Structure 1
Amino acid sequence: MPSAEELNENREQVRTLIAGIDDATANRLLKGALDLHVHSGPSTMPRQLDHMEAAEQAAAAGMRGVLFKDHHYSVAPVIPMMDRLLGKPDFHMYSGVVLNNSTGGLNPFVVDAQLKMGAKLIWMPTAQAANHIRTSHGKVRLASNVKLRNSPALSPVDGYGNVLDEVKQILDLIAEFDVILSSGHLHVWEIWKLFDEARSRGVKRLLVNHPMYGLHFSYDDIRDLAQLGALIEQSAGLYIDSRFNYYSPQELKEHIEAAGVAHSSIGSDLGQVNSPTPVEGMRQAIKLCLALGFSEVDVHTMVATNPARLVGLSD
């Protein structure tokens, strides 16, 4: 984790850069965007807004949709009710299930039920992934106001690197329903094993979240997985003026360029207290990308075209 001085330096760089980009340009590019990484509540962790508030704010900004992520439950079953209450048929809401122990772990029966209730994305373990637990003494942390029971460390592979039989069943279900597989907080070595198996079983929608944060990626890993068809999502909260600003603006540029704009997306990864809202996070990320020299077409590709394609919408 960066020192306090480094965090402050990163934030100051961001403030200076985005000050040169007007709100009107950012707001125009925000229209039609999709944020596929929204951490609204309720949750075991402190959240500054609930799912309906997150949807209302995104819709008011002209965004096309959001995807809700909680580490310990799925929002998917209640989205039809939220659609009715929001009353905006052109605004799309999605969710899915993270395969932590709190949701049943690497359990194909849970995945089967969730997919039949509308889940759009299946995340591999996050807070209870073996990789996350091993490295949680460092910068990979999930602050919670609730102390959950200690639970076994989860991995989709055995000690020899073979994908577990129950995970193969999960991959078959993901392929059958043509939904998204996310790498969660696995180690990059596990992700390679998992994605190779997934592709062999017909999974077409692959997503890597924040590859340089806690997953031990190299730039070559980013490039190679992108070329194999994975969408590489950068978390806005790690680069903008937030308490999670662990990387400099130049590193954002390098992380995007490693995958290439055609294989990159940006999700807010926000909703936590004492941070920008998801919508404001996306707005700042748009400004920062423009300030770093990415074109408006590039930004539209990363915040609208690529996430739309991933969830099965036309641009």
Structure 2
Amino acid sequence: MASTDDAKRNREEVRRLMAGIDDARANALLKGAIDLHVHSGPSTMPRQLDHMEAAEEAAAAGMRAILFKDHHYSVSPVIPMMERIFANPDFAMYSGLVLNNSTGGLNPFVVDAQLKMGAKLIWMPTAQAANHIRSAHRKTRLASNVQLRNSPALTVVDPYGEILDEVKQILDLIAEFDVILSSGHLHVWEIWKLFDEARARGVKRLLVNHPMYGLHFTYDDIRELAQLGALIEQSAGLYVDSRFNTYTPEDLREHILAAGVEHSSIGSDLGQVDNPTPVEGMRQAIKLCLALGFTDADVRTMVADNPARLVGLTS
């Protein structure tokens, strides 16, 4: 993780690079973009905007869709009410379920109910994953569950490294409903086991979030999982002018190229207080990618086409 001084230098370099990119060019690429990683509220953690405000801001920027993520509950059941109030047929809202203890853990009965209420994405454990808890020992900026009581550390494998039976049931449900499986904050070793089992059970939509941050990926892991069909999402908040900045601009370039543009996407992973809003984070990520030499077509592939395909939106 970047030190305070490193992060400051990173942010200064980001601002310098973004200054060379025309606002109109970035805003044009933001139109039609899809952010599959929005942390709006209410939440157990402070948020700077609620779900409706996040949707309004994204629609005003011309974005096509957003997906709400909370570590401790699913927004899916309330989206039909939000759609009725928002009433914008050109803008889509999605959510899903993170399999932390606070939502029932690795419980196929809860997953079944949420899928029948419209969940589009099932994340493996995040804040309560065993890997997350171990990684957070050094106080990384991975999502914190400090407001909640301690709970068991979750893993998807048994002591022999085999996928748990209840996880197999969850994978079968994900395949049946043809929704997205995210690796959550599992360790890369668990993710390989999980995705091999998922593919064998017919899961077609695979997503890896911020692979180089807290999940212990190597570049080879990124390349190989991308080649197997996983979409590799980079979190804008880790690279842009954000208090979560951890990596240099050149790191972003290398992280994207490890998977290849055709297998990459960008999600904001924003909504926290004292950070850019999700829309502003996406705008900054677009500018940064352009400054790093990615073409307009490359950027549109990562912020619009690839996430659209993953979530099942037609062109």
Is 2:144 the counterpart of 1:133?
no
SS in 2 for 1:233: strand
Q: Which amino acid aligns with 1:260?
A: G
Q: CA deviation at 1:70?
A: 0.1
- Structure 2 partner of 1:20: 20
SS in 1 for 2:137: coil
- Structure 2 partner of 1:239: 239
Q: How far, CA to CA, are the matches of 2:193 and 2:304 in structure 1? A: 29
Q: Which amino acid aligns with 2:167?
A: V
Q: How does 1:1-80 map to 2 (within 5 A)?
A: 1-80=1-80
Q: For the Cα contact (< 8 Å) 1:209–1:234, is it kept in 2?
A: yes
Q: For the Cα contact (< 8 Å) 1:132–1:140, is it kept in 2?
A: no
Q: CA deviation at 1:147?
A: 2.1
Provide TM-score, normalisation by structure 1. Answer: 0.99
SS in 1 for 2:55: helix
Q: CA deviation at 1:140?
A: 4.2
Q: CA deviation at 1:143?
A: 4.4
Q: For the Cα contact (< 8 Å) 2:142–2:214, is it kept in 1?
A: no
- Structure 1 partner of 2:255: 255
Q: How far, CA to CA, are the matches of 1:238 and 1:262 in structure 2? A: 21
Q: How does 1:1-315 map to 2 (within 5 A)?
A: 1-138=1-138, 139-143=140-144, 147-315=147-315
Gaps of 5+ in 2: none
Q: CA deviation at 1:160?
A: 1.5
Q: CA deviation at 1:137?
A: 1.7
Q: How far, CA to CA, are the matches of 2:196 and 2:142 in structure 1? A: 28
Percent of aligned positions that are identical = 81
Q: Which amino acid aligns with 1:273?
A: V
Q: How far, CA to CA, are the matches of 1:169 and 1:89 in structure 2? A: 35
Q: How far, CA to CA, are the matches of 2:29 and 2:265 in structure 1? A: 14
Q: For the Cα contact (< 8 Å) 1:239–1:249, is it kept in 2?
A: yes
Task: Number of aligned residue pairs: give it.
Answer: 314
Provide TM-score, normalisation by structure 2. Answer: 0.99
After TM superposition, what 4+ stretches of structure 1 lie above 4 angstroms from structure 2?
none
Q: How far, CA to CA, are the matches of 1:152 and 1:134 in structure 2? A: 12
Q: For the Cα contact (< 8 Å) 1:140–1:213, is it kept in 2?
A: no
Q: CA deviation at 1:142?
A: 2.3
Q: Which amino acid aligns with 2:11?
A: R
Q: For the Cα contact (< 8 Å) 2:127–2:144, is it kept in 1?
A: no
Q: Which amino acid aligns with 1:90?
A: D
